[in-house]
Chains A and B, each alone.
Chain A
Amino acid sequence: MSFMRKPDVVHSRAPKNDLGLTRRDYEGGMSTLCAGCGHDAITAAIIESFWSLNVEPHRVVKMSGIGCSSKTPAYFLSDAHGINSVHGRMPSIAAGANAANRDLHYIGVSGDGDSLSIGYGQLAHALRRNLNMLYIIENNGVYGLTKGQFSASADLGTKAKKGDINEQPPIDPVIACIAMGGTFVARGFSGDKAQLVPLIQAGLKHKGFALIDVLSPCVTFNDHEDSTKSYAHTRQFYHPAIHADFIAPAEPIRAAYEKGEAMEVELFDGSFIRLRKVREGYDPTDRSKALTYLNEYMAKGEIITGLMYWEKSTPDLHSIARTSETPLSKLDYGRLSPGAGKLAKIQERYR
């Protein structure tokens, strides 16, 4: 349950997924964001991704911090459990929730303020712990909810609606997360659903921490001329570098690509991501080359998108902690309590 229920009218011919659910079953409450806000388009892409992956909604945990972006978990998967936590601290909620129950799907939605300022430390450590989750930053270069202050992702020289010019260099979450050792780092654009949906699908299937930075214009505070996070600017300088196609396990592998042109990487459950290299010279599996390339194009003011870096994930929180296969929250007390006999024995050491 969330904000406002949408009317319960469903077209009987609406397509159903393998669970017999329509897209409508993956929606949430009515959005209260500004009309045209990029965040709403991302919500739509999330709904599409979960629906097409046949994920049971109630097996999903959706989490967020604070911001316009962090409100959006209320707008998708109303049958999922949601937690709208405090500003910048969603990653710690994610770590604890994940530790308690390894069997659920975890998606966190955050903003550039939530993740790159107040929550920068927690983002870094969630990545370092390699939590098995999808982490989406809805990046608009401003603090939307507090009415338009620059965020840490604001580009050099970009102009605020009230006229201020940003003179501090931006933090690029994609570059930062690749440099910090991320194993799935992507960038999308809220205006390009065709690219975004497979990225989200692949991110959900990645075993480990998957980060997607989604450029998501704020129509109210950062969509004017001289803003580098506006729709117009993004469309103009936007370059898909690496296309990711998501291929579900059952689907036949379609077209063959020329050697060197495409690369298929198998995910842990038998599904694939097909990486199509659109840009010459980009190698999404070479960390240092990826960084060099990104830095080069960032200096030119170009926005490179796609699955920018991928590697078969390193051990996640649970593999490192060697926790039981049964989720900790589901263990019987009988397996947790050593009992009175053991207590007597333990105490022999304290005499």
Chain B
Amino acid sequence: MSPANTGINDFVIKIANVNGTGSASANTLLMKAIFRMGIPVVGKNFFPSNIQGLPTWYEIRVSHKGYLCRSGSVDLMVAVNAETYSQDLQEVEPGGYLIYDSTWPRDRQLSREDIQVLGIPLSAMCNERFDNARARILMKNVAYVGALAALLEIDLDVIRALLQETYRDKQNLIAANLEAIDIGYSYAREHFDCPLPMRLEPMDETRDHIMIDGNTAAGLGCVYAGATVGAWYPITPSTSLMDAFKNFCERLRIDPETGDRNYCIIQAEDELAAIGMVMGASWNGARAFTPTSGPGISLMNEFIGFGYFTEIPAVLFNVQRVGPSTGLPTRTQQGDLLSCAYASHGDTRHVLLFPADPRECFELAVAAFDLADRLQTPVIFVTDLDIGMNDWMVPDLEWDDSYQPDRGKVFTAEQLEEMDVFHRYADPDGDGIGYRTFPGDHPKGSYFLRGSGHTAAATYSEKSPDYVELVDRLARKFETAKQLVPAPVIDQRKGVGRAIVSLGSCDGAIREARDILAAQGIETSYCRVRAFPFNAQVEAFLEEHDQVFVVEQNRDAQLKQMLVMETRVSKDRLRSILSYDGMPVDSRFIVDAITEALEEEAAA
């Protein structure tokens, strides 16, 4: 027997369940209870592309140090899915714990000497206490939360308060949930030494923080950015972004007197239509957006190029998931970096934003609309399933009431009235950006918008010099973009030549990995890019480091390819660390990869 895990506020609970059994609310209850005890916590949901009956896992990391990533280990497994039992059992770290439903006997062959196995007859007890079949299934999940409350010392008052809030008007549901909590709690108290050495202790580290998923935060960002038109076609993992926008609008954007809605959401027939709607609405003066995922971006390609060439602002949210079609669409990845950066045909390059957590989703969503309007081009907000659909603990969102949207260069009717002629695609300021007008505002503002063949005056042209002038100006505009996009987040250690460059949801794992490495004497600087094109700071950072690990979650080193293509960095200074199994990258993986690389180097 390995020594028991005695971590206080520092362990990982994983719950193996079957989807469609209501485990999500039980798991949220558990996580929120820990959060309310003031202990930093993060939850990750690994779910199947299915509605009912397939395996699903929920991983809760409790970290007094506030790490928000997966650690790469499991200390306590709640294995209530018989089908995955053997796999779940294997995953537990030596010295850890496993709880299973002892209503049915376990396969004798499946046992481990180095962990503690706790059997609780969850089904049997719930079947006895609840009559209806649905309640029996649901309450079984709540019962394990009760057992964990006893084993880990979760404050029962916190659980009660949470249940009261969740089921406000449904007293019978509150009663049933409390009963199920009690079933698990009492059983654990009677049969095991409670609490376990590995347990929770109240802290005060979650004050001024919220637990929110990135899609909700991004949807809220769209509301605050003043977006009025949203068009979309449902696709996991982006659907909840539009759901959030809709819910917030229903609360915040309906005129209390008239009932009028100050927004319009169109569920399109497909993504080709969704992006067309965004183009139409943006061209016509509204702030418009579409949430989608990789397959949607593929379908939108023609219009993305159209928007680039005709200079229509548009905001696209790509909540990335794994590859095409069926299989792993409910798993996370950063696999669309290249397909977003260079989406469409012809010479195109697009402004991308890379949020790292839900708080940045809120802030960068607003920035996306400002950039799209300022640069008059499609902006793709590149996030992923891990950020979008999992609950993250982040500092409170903030808002400055003096904010006014930057609509960029727009001529008003009054300005047009004073003008002799209006040339839509002229470049009077030398930054590659012309002035636009909104349809209907003034006769002098009208122009005919079309693809690649137009002059500065927006007349039709098939002349080579006109085309070259156009694409050269668009390239100039991309240079301007470098000065406007959000700066990278850099943590530079003096005199350290070794660095990590990464983006998006890798951030949490990198932060922890850097601490672990530093404890081993391996110091690293860190640059997290937040946008494409890469600006001068990224360029300088690369120049100042002779060994750069590029951490990303895809097979083909897409960020690294972009760095090689778009900066002056020499290719052989970059070394990839690639995680692409569909699971959010964990800190252990990064630590191992870097130590291995350094050992290799030392041996060479």
Contact = CB atoms under 8 A, between A and B. Distances in A.
A91 interface: yes
Nearest to A344: B396
Given A61-B439, A86-B303, A337-B226, A343 B399 contact: yes
25 contacts: A1-B446, A2-B460, A57-B446, A58-B441, A63-B280, A83-B450, A84-B450, A84-B451, A95-B266, A97-B281, A99-B266, A100-B229, A100-B288, A101-B285, A101-B440, A103-B440, A122-B273, A321-B264, A323-B262, A328-B263, A329-B438, A337-B403, A338-B224, A339-B399, A343-B220
Interface stretch (B42-50, B134-142, B253-261): B253-261
Interface string B197-219: 00000000000011110000000
Contacts of A324: 255, 258, 260-262
Given A57-B443, A323-B264, A327-B285, 14 more contacts: A1-B448, A1-B458, A58-B446, A73-B448, A79-B446, A81-B446, A95-B277, A96-B283, A101-B284, A125-B269, A317-B266, A328-B229, A343-B224, A351-B210
A85 B226 CA distance: 26
Contacts of A351: 35-36, 209-211
A103 B440 CA distance: 9
Interface string A99-125: 111011000000000000000011011
Interface in A299-351: 317-318, 321-325, 327-331, 333, 335-340, 342-344, 346-347, 350-351
B522 interface: no
B496 interface: no
A117 to B, nearest CB: 14
Interface residues of A, number: 66
A257 interface: no
A336 B404 CA distance: 11
A329 B285 contact: yes
Contacts of A333: 226, 404-405
A338 B284 contact: no
A79 B438 CA distance: 13
Provide the main secondary structure of the chain A interface: helix
A149 interface: no
A336 B288 contact: no
A3 B273 contact: no
B440 A81 contact: yes
Contacts, number: 231
A134 interface: no
Contacts of B35: 351
B407 to A, nearest CB: 9
A323 B263 contact: yes
B224 A97 contact: no
Contacts of B261: 321-324
Contact of B228 (A79, A80, A86, A100): A100
Contacts of A335: 262
Identify the interface centre among B210, B253, B284: most chain A CB within 10 Å of its CB: B284
A327 B226 CA distance: 14
B459 A2 contact: yes
B401 A339 contact: yes
Given A84-B449, A89-B273, A331 B262 contact: yes
B278 interface: yes
A104 B446 contact: no
Given A1-B458, A329-B438, A61 B443 contact: no
A1 B459 contact: yes
A321 B249 CA distance: 12
A38 to B, nearest CB: 22
B8 interface: no
A331 B254 CA distance: 13
Interface string A46-72: 000000000011110101000000000
